[in-house]
């Protein structure tokens, strides 16, 4: 098979879909690999490393020659314009929040494969779980960013010049990223507490040496497939009010809460921010154009409030560790690609739950049940990403979480 790797065009995107080590593996499996010139440069993989691994360097106009195009993020209009009907395109396409991109991919006639829809609970999908690999990196980097921005120590430090008490860190949302943030903050010596609306995460939190914060005003919001469901308005208000008391008792808050296909839930209100001590730091991993976990946070920006609280909108953390995140992503995407190659040809077997979970467009049509009008398991279609409603009512979960 002929496989092409694009040079990413997304803002602040430094990752690349294949690293030279994985190129060499695909080459020895008999595939022809083309890499767009400069594709790996910002992840510290020069063109020569790809050539040495057996890839051919190409220009963007040659992308249409490939059977499959691999990317990390989403294609822009000019990349879609160069695609050829029948080609496969792999990426973290975020289709639940970008219906416009989905219809453009369908119009281009490509078979679009979205790694963020992988049914993660299937054991055979684990090597392909790019959400987890990237969330792990993001959680690690969030804790480092927080420690760097905090004007005091994370660990207890006893010196001749005095004793520094350890920082109190609160992690909100304890999925893959949150657990890695807890582990990293603990390794730096902080005293860590954590909260998640899925109470079953308590055991994992405690096993990392952190204290699980239990809220009395909100019950479990566990959805299916391991994901959380969106809260009702009343639940959200209670959660925000009760969390505020905990937030003000901490020096550092790292927020990682997500509900698939939805605006990230708002957990830290401006009232909570006002009550925090000067010098406190928040790292909002949910920061997005639609709003984040922290009121007023902005993706890619660091804001200092009037009362001296630093809010870091940390939406592109995996990209800040592009060499590591690309290496992990390359293993994920190459595993999925090779899984879909049968007898040397790219094959879309929709009877396979894993394949049906990731293919969103084919032969000019949108085929994924979470994106068609019926929605998953007969539920409503997802709301468009541009929906102005903050943290709206429950909606369909992705395939891994079918039937909330
Ligand atoms: P995610 O990124 O979707 O969300 C991060 C966390 O935010 C979740 O723990 C979620 O419960 C929490 N959250 C959502 N709304 C919240 C709110 N209002 N208040 C507080 N917390 C809130 O999660 P993820 O890291 O992608 O993981 C989702 C699940 O998938 C987890 O249960 C994880 O264990 C599971 N998972 C399973 C496998 C596997 O089985 N192989 C692999 C990866 C992940």
Cβ-contact 129, 328 below 8 angstroms: no
DSSP string across 20-45: HHHHHHHHHTT-EEEEETTTTGGGT-
Place of tokens 């078979």: 111
Q: Rounded CA gap, 190 and 232, in Å?
A: 33
Of ligand 1's atoms, which has the minimum distance to the CA of residue 200?
A: 32
Closest by CA to 334, choosing from 83, 110, 113, 61, is 113
Q: CB-hemisphere CA count at 13 Å for 395?
A: 24
Q: Rounded CA gap, 37 and 57, in Å?
A: 6
Q: Rounded CA gap, 370 and 117, in Å?
A: 10
Catalytic hit among 34, 87, 114, 132: 132
How far is the centre of ligand 1, averaged over its atoms, from the C-alpha of 394 (Å)? Answer: 16
Task: Using CA atoms of 133, 135, 137, 142 in order, give the dihedral in degrees to the nearest 10.
Answer: 180
Catalytic hit among 104, 120, 263, 362: 120
Per-residue confidence in pLDDT tens, the chain, 404 aa: 999 999 999 989 999 999 999 999 999 999 999 999 999 999 999 999 999 999 999 999 999 999 999 999 999 999 999 999 999 999 999 999 899 999 999 999 999 999 999 999 899 999 999 999 999 999 999 999 999 999 999 999 999 999 999 999 999 999 999 999 999 999 999 999 999 999 999 999 999 999 999 999 999 998 877 889 999 999 999 999 999 999 999 999 999 999 988 899 999 999 999 999 999 999 999 999 889 999 999 999 999 999 999 999 999 999 999 999 999 999 999 999 999 999 989 999 999 999 999 999 999 999 999 998 644 433 333 433 333 334 443 333 343 333 22
State whether the beta carbon of 299 lies less than 6 angstroms from ligand 1: no
Confidence (pTM): 0.91
How far is the centre of ligand 1, averaged over its atoms, from the C-alpha of 67 (Å)? Answer: 34
Of ligand 1's atoms, which has the minimum distance to the CA of residue 132?
A: 43
Cβ-contact 252, 280 below 8 angstroms: yes
**Is 143 strand, coil or helix?**
helix
State whether the beta carbon of 231 lies less than 6 angstroms from ligand 1: yes
């Amino acid at each position: 098979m002929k496989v092409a790797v694009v040079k990413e065009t997304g803002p602040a995107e430094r990752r690349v879909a294949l690293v030279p080590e994985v190129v060499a593996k695909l080459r020895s499996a008999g595939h022809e690999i083309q890499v767009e010139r400069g594709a790996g440069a910002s992840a510290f993989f020069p063109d020569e490393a790809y050539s040495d691994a057996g890839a051919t360097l190409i220009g963007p106009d040659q992308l249409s020659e490939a059977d499959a195009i691999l990317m990390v993020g989403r294609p822009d209009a000019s990349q879609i314009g160069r695609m050829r009907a029948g080609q496969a395109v792999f990426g973290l396409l975020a289709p639940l929040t970008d219906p416009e991109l989905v219809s453009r991919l369908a119009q281009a006639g490509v078979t679009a494969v979205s790694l963020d829809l992988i049914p993660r609970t299937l054991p055979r999908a684990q090597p392909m779980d790019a959400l987890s690999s990237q969330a792990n990196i993001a959680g690690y980097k969030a804790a480092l960013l927080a420690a760097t921005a905090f004007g005091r120590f994370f660990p207890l430090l006893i010196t001749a010049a005095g004793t520094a008490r350890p920082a109190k860190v609160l992690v909100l949302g304890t999925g893959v990223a949150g657990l890695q943030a807890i582990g990293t903050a603990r390794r730096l010596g902080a005293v860590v507490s954590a909260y998640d609306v899925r109470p079953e995460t308590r055991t994992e939190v405690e096993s990392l040496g952190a204290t699980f914060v239990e809220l009395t005003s909100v019950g479990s919001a566990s959805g299916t497939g391991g994901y959380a469901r969106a809260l009702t308005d009343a639940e959200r208000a209670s959660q925000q009010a009760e969390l505020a008391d905990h937030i003000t008792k901490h020096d550092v808050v790292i927020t990682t809460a997500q509900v698939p296909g939805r605006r990230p839930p708002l957990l830290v209100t401006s009232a909570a921010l006002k009550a925090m001590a000067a010098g406190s730091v928040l790292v909002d991993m949910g920061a997005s154009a639609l709003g984040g976990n922290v009121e007023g946070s902005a993706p890619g920006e660091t804001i200092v409030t009037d009362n001296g609280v630093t809010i870091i909108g940390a939406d592109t953390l995996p990209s800040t560790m592009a060499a590591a995140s690309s290496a992990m992503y390359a293993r994920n995407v190459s595993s999925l690609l090779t899984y879909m190659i049968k007898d040397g040809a790219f094959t879309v077997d929709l009877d396979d739950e894993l394949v049906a979970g990731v293919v969103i467009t084919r032969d000019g049509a949108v085929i994924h049940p979470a994106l068609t009008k019926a929605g998953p398991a007969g539920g409503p279609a997802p709301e468009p990403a541009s929906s102005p409603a903050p943290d709206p009512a429950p909606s369909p979960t992705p395939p891994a979480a079918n039937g909330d």
